[in-house]
Amino acid sequence: MEKVRLGIIGTQFAALLHMNSLVKLRGARVDVVAVASKTKEHAEAFAKKFNIPDYYYDDHRRLLERKDIDVIDLCVPTDLHETFAIETAEARKHIICEKPLTGYFGKDKKEEQVGFEVKKKFMLREAMKGCDRVAKAVEKNKVKFMYAENWIYAPPFTKLKNLIKVSGGTILDIRAEESHSGSHAKYSRRWKTSGGGALMRLGAHPVGGVLHLKHYEGILKYGKPIRAKSVMAEVGQHTKIASFVKEKKKYIVSEWEDVEDWGVMIINFEDNSKATVFSSDAVLGGVRNTLNVYLSNAVVNVNINPHNALEVYAPEPHIFGDEYIAEKLETKAGWNFPSPDEDWVRGYPQELEDFIDAIQFNKEPVSGMDLARDVVEAIYAAYVSAEEGKRIEFKR
């Protein structure tokens, strides 16, 4: 295959992240043929901005019907991933799917507060059935499923993997976090569209990271992955604390409905090592994407965001004008740590390049179905643990 012909569904936040990286491969290895989204203005503006020949806004299936597209990049809200991925597989096209793969989103009752009303044990079972349905469609139609978990492609993370390999040490303890001051996206406020709160949307990244690392260590040491064997967790809605509710000026997103804005989970692995994952929608100071890895013979701290390749200071926020400093930063005043190339440090171009390689050279992507499935399982088991107040063991 000379060039991979790609279509994108979704034209907002995640789609921009993907497109900004795809432009680097465009012309030589990738043709972005068409896009689809729900609103005409967004689809049109996106197509125009990136010089994409066609766009659809009435029905994403028009994109799937095209014979000149090899792969569909799903940048749509999480509740649509399962259906869209299955439709894509049935159309015999490869799938790039944003994180997390899927979850439980309730029935079609409009006002349902899924997060409060439905037992998490039931959700776990249903979410795993959703993963199985996607896996089955992928297998049946012999297409590739590529799971867009950028963390495991981030250069600090791939360096960590090299260090783990050469050290030969045992990963004893990992502490990982993704937090910030709250999502911009409306779908994130309700379980019905997001499938969970901070643990699901933010935690999916560090959970993906730690599961991948122990998997990697297992392959190196024993020729088979070290998988999670149990999970314990706690969740909370810190933005509902009475004194915070009374505060007039809010720097933190607080419109959460039936989803948690804070969560912590401990993953216990088959070799009895542990990973602790923190995620919060109520942390000021810009996005935090970090991993501390304690090996038996080394320590590695991975600072995807923030990191200090650049340290900048301004006495007032207007001084840096419109120049981008960091995601979800409240102010450009004072000392800050912009990344010279945030997309690169976060692994988006490397992720998309691996996916294009996978299609062009018919190989497995570094991030695929197994990781996508295990992330859903770990997060929903964490929800069961938090609800029932006990450790949840996996039946393998």
Ligand X SMILES: NC(=O)c1ccc[n+]([C@@H]2O[C@H](COP(=O)([O-])OP(=O)(O)OC[C@H]3O[C@@H](n4cnc5c(N)ncnc54)[C@H](O)[C@@H]3O)[C@@H](O)[C@H]2O)c1
Q: How many CB atoms lie within 10 A of CB 59?
A: 10
Which of the ranges 35-43, 113-121, 307-315, 381-389 carries the binding residues for ligand X, by CB under 6 A?
Answer: 35-43
Q: How far is the CB of 185 from ligand X (least distance, A)?
A: 4
Q: How far is the CB of 248 from ligand X (least distance, A)?
A: 28
From CA 250, how far away is CA 299, in angstroms rounded? 37
For ligand X, which is the closer residue by CB, 43 or 275?
A: 43
From CA 346, how far away is CA 351, in angstroms rounded? 9
332 binds ligand X (CB under 6 A): no
| Helix segments in the chain, DSSP class H | 13-22, 40-49, 61-64, 81-90, 114-117, 120-141, 155-167, 191-194, 198-201, 204-222, 242-246, 342-345, 348-360, 369-388
Binds ligand X (CB under 6 A): choice among 5, 6, 10, 300: 10
AA identity, residue 52: I
Tokens matching residue 111: 């006002």
14 binds ligand X (CB under 6 A): yes
Which of the ranges 6-14, 137-145, 164-172, 288-296 carries the binding residues for ligand X, by CB under 6 A?
Answer: 6-14
Which of 67, 97, 71 is CA-nearest to residue 84?
Answer: 97
From CA 329, how far away is CA 109, in angstroms rounded? 37
58 binds ligand X (CB under 6 A): no
Q: How far is the CB of 36 from ligand X (least distance, A)?
A: 5
152 binds ligand X (CB under 6 A): no
For ligand X, which is the closer residue by CB, 103 or 218?
A: 103
Binds ligand X (CB under 6 A): choice among 82, 87, 98, 178: 98
- The phi, psi pair for 312, rounded to 5°, reads -125, 150
Q: How far is the CB of 335 from ligand X (least distance, A)?
A: 25
Q: Read off the DSSP letter of residue 196.
A: S
Binds ligand X (CB under 6 A): choice among 3, 26, 29, 42: 42
Binds ligand X (CB under 6 A): choice among 21, 102, 150, 193: 150
- Per-residue contact string for residues 193-232; x = within reach of ligand X by CB under 6 A: --------x-------------------------------
Binds ligand X (CB under 6 A): choice among 8, 11, 96, 300: 11
38 binds ligand X (CB under 6 A): yes
Could you say which residues in the range 71-90 bind ligand X, by CB under 6 A? 75-78, 80
Which of 280, 282, 147, 151 is CA-nearest to residue 206?
Answer: 151
Rg (CA), the chain: 21
Tokens matching residue 262: 């804070």
Distances from the Cα of 70 to the Cα of 37, 261, 315, angstroms: 18, 38, 50
Binds ligand X (CB under 6 A): choice among 99, 189, 214, 215: 99
Size of the site for ligand X (CB under 6 A): 25
Could you list the residues that contact ligand X (CB under 6 A)? Answer: 9-14, 17, 36-39, 42, 60, 75-78, 80, 98-99, 148, 150, 185, 187, 201
